[in-house]
A and B are shown apart, each in its own frame.
Chain A
């Protein structure tokens, strides 16, 4: 199995711009998670999908954030009108149907908002 992949790996943008990140989970993993990690902190949960259904969203996910998983495979996370406080590493993880509590993480997308 190839691991979880995320694109782009790095994104630099200006405040106010929109950005979109993509996550490709491990093949046949039905659950997909997004987390955000700021410097010196542990990852914080943002949202979670089971197949194409978004089952949970953190209150950290303001109305500027939206996530989709249209066909139950890859997922996108969009941030509209970026702010400097959005600068962080955005991590994606996936887990298989039979071992739902083992989350396998991708390399992350590092966002820098200038």
Chain B
């Protein structure tokens, strides 16, 4: 069975602070994909990143960066210099690799960025 744990229910930061959202996963699959999605107040899930289990290279995209550590089964997400528009619920998700497969989501972390 697959499981994703996002222990941080809610985080509040002041604009321009850096913030890291934690994600820990469990799977028996040897190959898998990890994802982050953003759900703003409008409700629509927005795809942010997909990472293959065999690629542990960290990734940076603008103010966003992701740290994948297979040894600790973690896939953490850092927002640098946070902005009010980053306020949303962020979900980490996991799926099997090989063929298109369902996503198993964590319970999400609500990020509130204030001025």
- Chain A positions within 8 Å of B, measured between CB atoms, are 31, 33, 35, 40-45, 48, 50, 56, 58, 89, 91, 93, 95, 100-108, 110
With A41-B107, A89-B43, A108-B44 known as contacts, the answer to whether A102 contacts B50 (CB < 8 A) is yes
B97 contact set on A, CB distance < 8 A:
101
A43 contact set on B, CB distance < 8 A: 45, 91, 103, 105
Q: Which residues of B contact A101 (CB under 8 A)?
A: 33, 50, 95, 97, 100-101
Residue of B nearest to A43 (CB): B105
How distant is the Cα of A95 from the Cα of B45 in the complex, in angstroms?
14
Residue in B closest to A46 when the chains form the complex, CB atoms: B102
Question: What 0/1 pattern do residues 3 to 18 of B give for CB contact below 8 A with A?
Answer: 0100000000000000
Other A-B pairs, 13, CB within 8 Å; known A58-B102, A101-B50, A107-B42 = A40-B107, A42-B4, A42-B93, A42-B105, A42-B106, A45-B103, A101-B95, A101-B97, A102-B50, A104-B47, A105-B44, A107-B44, A108-B43
Tell me the complex Cα distance, A104–B48, Å.
11
Contact, CB under 8 Å: A100 / B44 = no
CA distance A89 to B44 in the complex (A): 11
Interface residues of B in 64-115 (CB under 8 A from A): 91, 93, 95, 97, 99-108
Q: With A44-B105, A107-B44 as given contacts, are A100 and B50 in contact (CB-CB < 8 Å)?
A: no
Q: Which chain B residues in 22-65 approach chain A with CB under 8 Å?
A: 33, 37, 42-47, 50
- B102 near A91 (CB under 8 angstroms)? no
Give the Cβ gap from B77 to chain A, nearest Cβ, in Å.
15
